[in-house]
A and B are shown apart, each in its own frame.
Chain A
Amino acid sequence: MKTRNLSTRLASINPVSILLYGLIVWFVIAFLIYPNLNIYGEIFFKDGQFTLEAAEKLLSSERAMRSLYNSFILAFSLIITVNVVGITLVLISEYFEIKGAKILRLGYFTTLIYSGVVLVSGYKFVYGEEGFMTKLLVYLFPSFDATWFHGYWAVLFVMTFACTSNHFLFLSNAIRKIDFQTVEAARNMGASTWYILRRVVLPVLKPTIYALTILTFLTGLAATSAPLILGGKEFQTITPMILTFSRSMTSRDLAALLALILGVATLVLLTIMIRFERKGNFMSVSKVKSELVKQKIRSKFGNIAAHILAYGLFVLYIVPVVLIIIFSFTDAASISTATLNLNSFTLNNYIQVFSSMSAFKPYLVSILYAAAASVIVVALALAASRILHRYKNKWALALEYAMLIPWILPSTLIAVGLIVTFNTPKLIIGNTVLVGTVWMLLIAYVIIHIPFTLRMVKASFFSLDSNLEDAARNLGAKPFYTFRKVLLPIILPSTLAVLALNFNGILADYDVTVFLYHPVYQPLGVVIKNSTDAQALADTKALTLVYSVILMIMSSVTLYFVYGRNSRS
């Protein structure tokens, strides 16, 4: 970067943005760097001495090494399978003319509204030992092994379909920005469908695909429920071990070290992607408003095949959700044997969940926290992305990496780090004690969601055409005016999608919440865990599904209000 250029740019920054940048730097130092380094210090230098004992323990454990290996295998496999399925979904619903695309979209959207153990149990209702598909297969082929659905392929299958939600949200946004005139021109020149996809459509999607690849890799490394439930003895991954260790005082060093390994791997991949991003020239975004017209598949055979694929995927996506909703009206015995019997249908589960007025308070608490945190995170990520987009120097790079710190620690340890750091007055936060205030949990939610948010917001920033900005500036627009009137409308759909995703993620969080929540304001995640815990007396199986259905409804409503209406217009 030329110094003259830089200095003129610095001069053009107004006081408000200097203050804004200052606040970001303060936030990064106070909440991202300080507490997290503190917990690392606490863990690895316990008696003032650095020890490699944790590394030795892990290296000598065959199980830990195998699990770590499996995690990487899964992560790399998912990069391929999720990208293939994700891109296919987006092409089906946005690019090609498929009959009933609106309904198909709803089906593909379902992974956005549920996740974790419940999602995997949904798939188990279909493919598990007692599942409907398994029963059908056993009926057709009596020698069929009913316990077939476990191990690497089962985990990969479920996660491939479950992890396309981000693809579906963000790639759909990206594909709508394609300049349709280029597509038309290519077609007039005789380019085939495949050639247009490869040379016109794909380049526009690249920044988003890079960002999604990182997220998919991370999701693969962090896989918990699917390997735990479906992995069986032969395919266990490392994250469940990290979770167990991070909850035990004496084994925290192992958890932190393992998380560090996963985090560094992610950062390496990220660095490669950032290099791609900088090399790339992503300017085929539509400058003139010519909306993408859905493409008809010209070959008859291809068209039929595409429709079969589209509806096949739809069934695959929708069946587990439908079964979860149905089974939430039954009881533990029906759920565990996956049998439906008219006599076992009941409304009691729902009545139990909403039996008293006090039952509604946790919903309110969680909604407020989720709303506040997701807005703050997006604001921070927007400001940071703006900096990263405008300044490409080492400070910007340092800022970017600092904001990814939460990726190298399990969330439990981030929470513990916050408590250990802020339970005595600290100068950096004005000599106050944060532990025990309602703000603690809000800050933690913000911290944990920064990396994901930054990745996605930044990706949409980098698919911006800088000509637009220059044009606005040449016409005399001030930088902030340009940002608001020209840039923001383009990145808004993705930003809102991130907002909605964060909101939904925070709603039922337990891992972080349990350490930091304020006694008077009990959030939903804690309530759910308490009433569905192994120790609880009620019909925990049924209640788990009931709460899942409630969360599905809340998530759907959020997605509709924040994102759905926009994307349809």
Chain B
Amino acid sequence: MRKLSMALLLIMCVIVSACGGGNNASSTNGGPSESGAPAGTPAASDSSTTEPVKNEKLIVYTNANSDGRGEWLIEKAKGAGFDIEIVGAGGADLTNRLIAEKNNPIADVVYGLNNMLYENLKKEDVLAKFVPSWAGDVEQGLNDPEGYYHGLVKQAILLGYNPNEFTADTAPKDWTDLYKNNAYKGKYEAPTLLGQNTPRLVVAGILTRFQDPNGDLGISDEGWNEIQQLYDNGVGAVEGEDFYANLASGKTPLGALVSGTLQQKEEQYNVKAGIVSPEIGVPMVVEHAAIINGTKKQATAERFVEWLGSSEVQGDFAAEFNAMPANTKAVEQANESVKELYNSLKPQDFDWAFIADNMDLWAEKIELEIMP
């Protein structure tokens, strides 16, 4: 038995020494946050003065690294002399992680999240103020007016329809038509998966039309009534199903689409969805870049953000991944079909701070009181 208990002891000791190891790493690196780099990686220099030559490894958090975008950026950054590690995760998870870590941040830079999530981060003091030189090139009204985050890529949340079931004339003209016009009842996907961003933005796009300081959670009774109808008359989304498949098959021929995925989905399902351009505009989310408050690599992080948002990098990115840059100087390099789509769309006027303050509570109210 001695062997077994020794083995057990040994395992326990590994845990104990692990903690000790973490301690050593952090103490030699001069700050606990830098234990973000494993004990084995070369420690950054101790000096915390801002020398332009410093080039520590950056920890970059993003939700926009799938489909090779992360690998592309790592390669590209290497070419520009940056050494980055990417932590990829869903937007909401990433935001929660950043807030939980705020007393001792691991990340240096975060990019790819939407306005709503950046507003949450700003509110929790997770972001450091930094205005890059390219901020002025970004389309008017997209950047954070307070200078904490700045736009990279535009994404529009669109109302799409199956072209075999509707024509531009018979399709709804706005989200509100879905539940007001009997022709669409039971034919659209209701935004029930409120853990995801797109359904949340659909809800925000309707609720913000009914802002009322005296109403419940800043929304008038009429607004809540409309949302109730939206859920009552729609078909709930099903986890694991791709909405585009249901649009293509005609099961729910109407629903929300994200502009950046349109082209691939068209190819995968052989159906080109029709797009509605409501008069009020479409929810336009912008993926931004920002620096984390408390990073020990401020200088490098600033240079990285300067580089990341530059029109060259964003232009190359747009051409490679079919994206729509927020940087007006990079728009030229975007693909024709993308430019065409965005020319036909008008961004809906959103008060992001208001939405960010209330979105979680709205989602909670909808989950508890409104969903069937």
Contact = CB atoms under 8 A, between A and B. Distances in A.
Contact of B361 (A16, A120, A250, A479): A250
A537 to B, nearest CB: 4
Contact of A429 (B6, B19, B35, B96): B19
Nearest to B32: A433
Given A233-B372, A520-B38, A535 B101 contact: no
B11 A538 contact: no
A479 B23 CA distance: 37
Nearest to A376: B11
B198 A439 contact: no
Given A229-B238, A518-B38, A538 B368 contact: no
A482 B5 CA distance: 12
Given A336-B245, A515-B96, A519-B106, A23 B66 contact: no
Contact of B20 (A358, A432, A522): A432
B66 A530 contact: yes
A419 B12 contact: no
Interface in A327-374: 331-333, 336-337, 356, 358
A557 interface: no
Nearest to A249: B360
B360 A250 contact: yes
Contacts of A435: 35, 101, 104, 106
A254 interface: yes
B5 A16 contact: yes
Interface in B64-87: 65-67, 71, 85-87
A540 B22 CA distance: 38
A526 B35 contact: no
A423 B100 contact: yes
A514 B89 contact: yes
B206 to A, nearest CB: 19
Interface residues of B, number: 85
A423 B101 contact: yes
A183 B16 CA distance: 50
B53 interface: no
Interface string B101-127: 101101000000000000010000000
Interface string A517-535: 1111110001001110111
A409 to B, nearest CB: 15
B260 A537 contact: yes
Interface string A399-425: 000000000000000001001100111
Contacts of B363: 244, 248, 251
A531 B264 CA distance: 14
A483 B67 contact: no
Contacts of B99: 249
A355 B270 CA distance: 26
Given A383-B8, A437-B18, A536-B66, A121 B240 contact: yes
A228 interface: yes
Contacts of A250: 360-361, 364
A332 B246 CA distance: 11
A315 interface: no
Interface string B216-232: 00000000000000000
Contact of B87 (A423, A479, A484, A519): A519
Interface string A225-250: 10011000100000011011101111
A105 to B, nearest CB: 29
A19 B104 CA distance: 33
Contacts, number: 242
B239 to A, nearest CB: 4
B238 A61 contact: no
A434 interface: yes
A181 B36 CA distance: 61
Contacts of B67: 531, 536-538
B278 interface: no
B279 interface: no
Given A336-B245, A436-B33, A484-B3, A382 B8 contact: yes
B49 interface: no
B15 interface: yes
B100 A539 contact: no
A120 B238 CA distance: 12
B5 A526 contact: no
Contacts of B291: none
B120 A249 contact: yes
A379 interface: yes
A60 B364 CA distance: 13
Residue with the highest number of chain B CB atoms closer than 10 Å, among A63, A240, A423, A436: A436
Nearest to A542: B268
10 contacts: A17-B5, A27-B12, A251-B360, A336-B241, A375-B11, A433-B35, A437-B22, A443-B15, A515-B93, A539-B264
Given A117-B240, A233-B372, 8 more contacts: A23-B9, A249-B96, A423-B103, A439-B18, A480-B4, A515-B93, A537-B260, A538-B66
Top 7 A-B pairs, shortest CB-CB distance: A480-B1, A336-B245, A61-B368, A432-B23, A419-B100, A437-B22, A250-B360
